[in-house]
Amino acid sequence: MSLYLDNAATTPVRPEVLEAMTPYLTRVFGNPSSHHEVGEAAASALDDARRRVAAVLGMRPGDVLFTSGGTESNNAAIKGIVLGSGRKHLVTTAIEHESVLASADYLHRLHGAEVTHAPVDDTGTLTPDALAAVLRDDTALVSVGYANNEIGTVQDAAALAAVAHARGVPLHLDAVQAAGWLPLSGTGADAVTIAGHKLGAPKGTGILAVRGRLPFEPLLHGGGQERGRRSGTPDVAGAVGIATALTIAETERAEDAARVAALRDAFIARVLAVVPGARLTGHPHRRLPGTASFVFPGTNGETVLLELERRGIVSSSGSACAAGSDEASHVLLTVGLAHDDARTAVRFTLPHGLRHSLDAVADAVADAVSAVGSRG
């Protein structure tokens, strides 16, 4: 059986999550907007899920919206807050997920918004000074990834929030990769995005938390569900599932993150030692506990991945949204890698609960890179 090291792309559904969801896929099937016993049972479960999510985020239950995933949540946050504000300037970075960059482009093309990409350094870090330098009186929103989905670099969210708030600007934090690994409360964020399938909940489940004081123009209009911010009959089972997954992950987070980070560091050190020319991408220390990303100059990343899969190891070249593309990663190009080197990227993202050494994986990487290089 293959060793699956592509957990940033998706994770298996946890048994506890399936168990929690099952009643709302079977006997408790009511529409939570219906005013009868069957509907009220569903509404009670939805309210409980909202409270549990809010407790993890350090926000109010009324701030929490249940969505179809990270892409919808990022679209809703960026478009909703900018259009609701009446301002025309958005700040983000060039290393964000495509759902952030495409939402910014939409606002520019169709609504005349001006988009500024704040500069990041060669580790993918946005400093508070760099953010402060691009804020303006008409800035509607700062949208930043808490942790990068390709290279794993973690931003100092609280420091960025402080800079934004000093200018009266809200901060949207894309926490899709960070949830379950990093603290989600105390960041200062005004809006937070989470995707369930990164946490052991099903694909198609997501969260957008937006502080109620912010003006917000919804993407979806209709019956006024979710306090008018996302119309449509809520997925009660999905809400219960993602709330359960997030709660479990938060309970385990501190111990899990420390253990996995130590195993990650040992793995990084061994890869750099046994693979000639290998280079780590992202910040050497301020990175997600489960992310180790490399470039192997002189190879092709996709070919290395095929060699690894022959050796029973499943990993990726970067974002699953761009899997199979022969284009170099926009993230790696932004942090200064040459195009040819960026195309050699391989990302290993470790599972929660990992307890064993990855020395054998590092040795397999060395074999795979050597096999690819010998054909060159």
325 pLDDT higher than 60:
no
CATH of the domain at 178: 3.40.640.10
Exactly one of 166, 254, 321, 338 is catalytic; name it. Answer: 321
- The answer to whether residues 78 and 204 belong to one domain is yes
Please say if 123 is a catalytic residue.
Answer: no
The CA distance from 321 to 318, in Å, is 9
- The answer to whether residues 261 and 241 belong to one domain is no
- The dihedrals phi and psi of 185, each to the nearest 5 degrees, come to -100, 155
Choosing from 195, 215, 249, the residue where a domain stops is 249
- The answer to whether residues 282 and 224 belong to one domain is no
For the chain, the domain total comes to 2
Could you please report the per-residue DSSP string of 247-267?
A: HHHHHHHHHHHHHHHHHHHHH
Of 216, 213, 277, nearest to 82 by C-alpha is: 216
- Return the pLDDT at 2: 83
- The answer to whether residues 170 and 278 belong to one domain is no
Question: What is the residue whose two structure tokens read 């420091």?
Answer: 159
The CA distance from 52 to 201, in Å, is 15
Per-residue tokens: 222: 């209709």
Tens of pLDDT, residues 159-212:
999 999 999 999 999 999 999 999 999 999 999 999 999 999 999 999 999 999
Alpha helices in the chain (DSSP H): 15-25, 37-57, 70-85, 98-111, 128-134, 157-166, 236-274, 301-310, 330-334, 339-342, 359-373
- The answer to whether residues 239 and 363 belong to one domain is no
- The answer to whether residues 51 and 183 belong to one domain is yes
Residue 322's domain comprises 3-9+254-373
- The answer to whether residues 286 and 229 belong to one domain is no
- The pTM of the full predicted model, rounded to 2 decimals, is 0.95
- The answer to whether residues 229 and 301 belong to one domain is no
- The answer to whether residues 104 and 25 belong to one domain is yes
Tens of pLDDT, residues 279-303:
999 999 999 999 999 999 999 999 9
- The answer to whether residues 208 and 170 belong to one domain is yes
- Return the pLDDT at 326: 64
Choosing from 249, 268, 296, the residue where a domain stops is 249
